[in-house]
Chain A
Amino acid sequence: MADYRWPPTDKCSLIGRRISRLDGPWKSSGRIKYSYDVNRPNMLHGKLVFSPYAHAKVVSIDTSAAEKMPGVKAVEIMTEPGKEVFWVGHEVAAVAAETEEQARDAARRIQVHYEKLPHLVSDVSPEKAGEHTKQLAEQTDGNPDQALQQAEVISEGEYGVPVITHCCLEAHGQVAEWEGDNLTIYASTQNVSGIPGEMVRAKIADSADKVRVLTPVMGGGFGSKFGADTWGLACARLAKKAGRPVKMMLERDQELLAAGARPSMYAKVKVGAKKDGTLMGWASESWGTGGPDAQGGAPSIPYVVRIPDRRVRHTTVLTNIGPARAWRAPNHPQMCLITMSALDDLAAKLGMDPVEMLQKNIQMTGQLAKTYSAELEKAAELMDWKKKCHPRGDKTPGPIKKGLGVSIHTWGGAGHASNCNCTIQPDGSVSASLGSQDLGTGTRTVIGIITAETMGLPLEAVTVNIGDSKYPPDGASGGSTTVGGVSSSTRRAATAALNQLLEKVAPSLDAKPDELEAIDGKIRVKGNLGRAISWKQACAKLGTTPITGVGQRQRGNDDLISSGVGGAQMAEVSVDTETGLVHVDKLVAVQDCGLVIDLKTAESQVYGACIMGITYSLFEDKIMDQQTGRCLNADLEFYKLAGIGDFGEIVVHMMTGTGYDERGVIGLGEPPVISPGAAISNAVANAIGVRVPTLPLTPDKVLGALEKGAVA
């Protein structure tokens, strides 16, 4: 029988190669329909009414004028009078009308009376937040006071990352359509299999079986699209009331105001070392906001480099900046920036190369110490670190200062629950079906590659069915858990299906099923090129009955997948000390993720993470007006995303081969987005000789830092 375990990578014809994504042509031809693109017959358009206040009580809502507006077919109250709203953009009501323009007009005519309540939209100081704080954690390991006393060099600093948003290009939203009691939702979601249950819990549908979620492709989630969301429920209710399909997608301002805010994190850090660079002790007071209800949790710092003697205190600030949602690698970029900046400042004080300091203390990284060491070496080679590095403060004349920075990171990435049905038809066609979704990460392609590899077929011979809640249930795509989950279930399902086929075929080849293999579009006796039949001939032996193999990602230890990756990044920047502008000239990302299924889409994940990292390092900040509690940049003019010309060269190197491949598949989406902030901040400090304490590294902050500490 065919073995479900991964074949050695040198025996693979597809796994580990650079393969173009299966849905690439659908996307780049503009033909595939995203949720936003779905136009159903007789469809209405929905628009939301949202709070203009950061904190208020809804006193009354009068929808009578709106209901009389042309084209209006249904109105829905989303926040009942008496309830509070907690941020500008908090949804209050929704309306559905014949055209988008009519819906927008009608939304403006819904009269909402608010009682304004005090708000807090500043997270920069827990002292000033008064009662709006909550101490989340205090932990002491070892004896940090003694360790810091014994340290020969101490560095103290303050570092931080503000609230940013997800800014998915496809806004949150959906089309909802009823047919009797059956509801179809074309949702832009990271959780196809989870939404039917939500509709039942909200008492919108009476059974999850009657809800079908369709998401063939989706335009970005980054952790903000796990739920049906209040607007998803409202859309289904509007559609029910109107008896017609309704499309309701957030407008860009709502997307930035209400559809996810990454928690901020700031810290005052004291860290000490011996003169040889051995890290001794750590003490930090950190704080940040996870919205009005303290989401986000306490940081685990120092990050990656586990200094044994440490004391950490964390306070959460309850603010009305916006609703916290998971953002690609929740908490990690913040913890990484705080830790790696503090270590970099300490290295500068010691007059030590920061890469050397990391290598010196590499055992503190634990199990992955060897991986980190190898990754730092590879990154240094690709950056030409040794040749380019200089002590803090670029001494060369002229206003442009150059600098290098380094950072390391980690992530889990164990596969989530996953179920796959793999079917072989008598005509030879093969399909793999899972209630999963492809966020643009390459999930569909990975499933196709594994199925085709298992059957010994070309990729084109396989159909991948995902993005439909009617397929076997699968996990939500978050935390880099998808690739592990679907790889395991798909490989098991495909192997199970193939084994059924081998049993059918064995007699005609006068062999036992065990002696057969599927390779090059044939079923053949292992090692005997002559005794073979084509895939089509083999499948024809099924008569009229297709076969289906069922695969499930194993709970607990699953020998096809594992978890825990490292990763090292190095940045080279140019800083214009006259204008304060930072340019990332080069970013090197060295990343491991166990067995790589598709090298092309894997590398794309890392390239993309680097660019997303450059964006939050240099541009992103949800800017709030303290007086009014409003967000001042809920648009793409002032909520800046990096463009194609906003960075130099990016070098990606995947750690593969012996020592990596045999670990099985591990998630990749999160880890490479963690280090850019720290690596770039450290590079700027190295260039200009002084730390810019918080991201984003905007010109005003760079000039401010230069003013405080002149270029060395």
Chain B
Amino acid sequence: MAKLEDPKDPEHSRKSESRKKPGLGRRDFVKLVGGTGVAATAQVLSGHKLDAAATTVPEEVLGSGKVIGPGPVPMTLRINGQARKLTVEPRVTLLDALRNHLDLTGAKKVCDRGTCGACTIIVNGKPTYSCSVLAIEVADRDGKPGAEIRTIEGLAPEGKLHPVSGAFVENDAQQCGFCTPGFVMSCTAYLETHRSPTLEAVKQALGGNLCRCGTYVGVRNAVVEAAMSMKGGRA
């Protein structure tokens, strides 16, 4: 893991990387530590957002010495009410599984390390950074269904707009739009549990999503409008 080495000596870092064959990346590290560690780490990184994703590798697996991977393993994810089968390496993040293997590309890859929120989806009802969860953590296991995953594609049928998406359009809460699906998902998850948010609460709730174009004024207005609309205050 290059990050842990002496940053003052890139020569050393490069050499040691090549000695390791292959180098130990963050994902590999995460994979070695195991699911429990991942959940704990992810929770720290994204604050309150992630406890829902703390589906861990069962003790019987960890205790039995049963090895999952490193090659691709079949798994089933419960996405937008459908069971989706795929075969990916255990180190593949939920974000990469969605984007690269299921063509669900609404969740975006930007920082890929739990900072920007562009990859936000809803896992068991909570907004979750999908770049910081491994797909295998939330998959079916031993006959038990995995986590309930909602992506932006599941918010509304094609050609229709969820009230939150509609409010983003109406309030022009998007420019380049690359952060927008993440915002929409954070906002949806928040409004599903908080019907009458204050501006201060909105700033907190959406504090884990970043926008480069600077659409936050529109987002603030969109949340207010979406809240009214989801309460039935408007269509």
Contact = CB atoms under 8 A, between A and B. Distances in A.
Contact of B176 (A217, A630, A641): A217
B111 A635 contact: yes
B215 A252 contact: no
Contacts of A29: 106, 152, 155-156, 158, 161-162, 165
A600 B91 CA distance: 44
Given A625-B8, A637-B113, A169 B169 contact: no
Interface in A55-91: 69, 88
A169 B118 contact: yes
A173 B177 CA distance: 17
Interface in B36-52: none
Given A612-B214, A630-B7, A636-B210, A108 B177 contact: no
Interface string A10-47: 00000000001101111111111110110100000100
A28 B168 contact: yes
Given A30-B152, A604-B215, A608-B213, A219 B177 contact: yes
A650 B221 CA distance: 12
A462 B105 CA distance: 28
B219 interface: yes
Given A30-B106, A628-B7, A641-B210, A24 B172 contact: yes
A252 B108 contact: no
B110 interface: yes
B111 to A, nearest CB: 4
Interface residues of A, number: 74
B169 A21 contact: yes
B178 A33 contact: no
B66 interface: no
Interface in A491-536: none
Interface in B54-109: 89, 91-92, 96, 99-100, 103, 105-109
Contacts of B219: 644
Nearest to B107: A30
A20 B172 contact: yes
A91 to B, nearest CB: 16
A396 interface: no
A222 B17 CA distance: 35
Given A101-B27, A217-B176, A30 B153 contact: yes
Given A99-B89, A169-B176, 7 more contacts: A24-B177, A26-B177, A109-B18, A252-B113, A625-B7, A643-B207, A644-B206
Which has the most chain A C-beta neighbours within 10 Å: B27, B92, B158, B214?
Answer: B214
Given A25-B161, A30-B152, A440 B115 contact: no
B111 A628 contact: no
Given A220-B176, A608-B175, A643-B207, A30 B181 contact: yes
Interface of A: 20-21, 23-34, 36-37, 39, 45, 52-53, 69, 88, 99-101, 104-105, 108-109, 111, 116, 167-171, 217-220, 222, 249, 251-252, 439-441, 600-601, 603-605, 607-612, 615, 625, 627-628, 630, 632, 635-637, 641-645, 647, 650
A101 to B, nearest CB: 6
A603 to B, nearest CB: 8
Contact of A20 (B170, B180, B217): B170
20 contacts: A21-B169, A23-B177, A24-B169, A30-B153, A100-B100, A105-B22, A109-B22, A168-B176, A170-B108, A219-B108, A252-B111, A604-B175, A604-B215, A611-B214, A627-B8, A630-B10, A637-B115, A641-B210, A643-B203, A645-B204
A28 B181 contact: yes
Contacts of B206: 643-645
A252 B110 contact: yes
B210 A643 contact: yes
A610 B214 CA distance: 8
- The 10 A-B residue pairs with the shortest CB-CB distance in the complex, in nearest-first order: A30-B106, A611-B214, A219-B178, A440-B176, A27-B177, A645-B203, A30-B152, A37-B105, A608-B214, A440-B175
B165 A39 contact: no
Contact of B168 (A24, A252, A635, A645): A24
A643 B219 CA distance: 11
Instruction: Give the contact-size bracket for chain B.
Output: 35 or more
B133 to A, nearest CB: 16
Contacts of B165: 25, 28-29
B212 A644 contact: no
A24 B222 CA distance: 13
Contact of A39 (B103, B155, B204, B210): B103
B106 A36 contact: no
Contact of B8 (A32, A108, A628): A628
Nearest to A637: B115
B220 A101 contact: no
B218 interface: yes
Nearest to A56: B10
Contact of B209 (A20, A88, A116, A644): A644
Contacts of B89: 99, 101
Contact of A220 (B166, B178, B216): B178
B214 A169 contact: no
B161 A34 contact: no
B130 interface: no
Contacts of A31: 106, 153, 158
A53 B13 CA distance: 11
Contact of B184 (A21, A28, A108, A611): A28
Contacts of A635: 111, 113, 115
B100 A39 contact: yes
A439 B207 contact: no
B128 interface: no
A611 B96 CA distance: 30
Nearest to B200: A645
B136 to A, nearest CB: 13
Nearest to A166: B212
A28 B161 contact: yes
Contacts of A167: 212
Nearest to A222: B212
Contacts of A603: 172
Given A111-B18, A169-B178, A600-B172, A30 B213 contact: no
B141 interface: no
A36 B108 contact: yes
Interface string B3-27: 0000111110110011001110101
B158 to A, nearest CB: 7
A99 B116 CA distance: 24
A603 B100 CA distance: 36
